[in-house]
């Protein structure tokens, strides 16, 4: 299967780490998003692109922001100016709640 690249892999790993920290399985997250488990799996496995809108939906369910996910994944600034404050606060916000 065609993989989408390093940026997608970093986003996927970050999302999965947050899921683990929050105690959510992929099936639970898919249900909360209103997505099929197959769609979420394809996004997390790099078969489908994780779009900005997807990250915003995922972040809302996981109690964070798409900007924080981007910064934790090291992809902030791809088409946007990164907010350095989110990088420091994002980690605390994601894992302390």
Using left for φ > 0, alpha for ψ between -120 and 50, and beta otherwise, residue 21 falls in alpha
- Give the residue extent of every domain in the chain: 6-96
Structure tokens at 66: 């798409």
- Condensed to tens digits (0 to 9), the pLDDT of residues 3-59 reads 457 778 889 999 999 999 989 999 999 999 999 999 999 999 989 999 999 999 999
Please report the DSSP string for 13-34 in residue order: HHHHHHHHHHT--HHHHHHHHT
Any idea which architecture 6-96 has in CATH? Orthogonal Bundle (1.10)
Decide: 19 and 43 in contact? Cβ < 8 Å: no
pTM of the model: 0.73
Quickly tell me which residue has 């605390």 as its tokens: 92
């Amino acid at each position: 299967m065609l993989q989408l690249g390093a940026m997608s892999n970093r986003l996927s790993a970050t999302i999965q780490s947050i899921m683990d920290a929050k105690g959510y399985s992929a099936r639970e997250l898919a249900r909360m998003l209103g997505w099929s488990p197959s769609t979420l799996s394809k996004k997390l496995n790099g078969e489908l692109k994780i779009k900005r809108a997807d990250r915003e939906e995922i972040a809302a369910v996981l109690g964070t922001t798409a900007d924080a996910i981007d910064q934790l994944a090291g992809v902030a600034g791809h088409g946007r100016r990164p907010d350095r404050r989110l990088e420091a606060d994002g980690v605390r916000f994601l894992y302390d709640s």
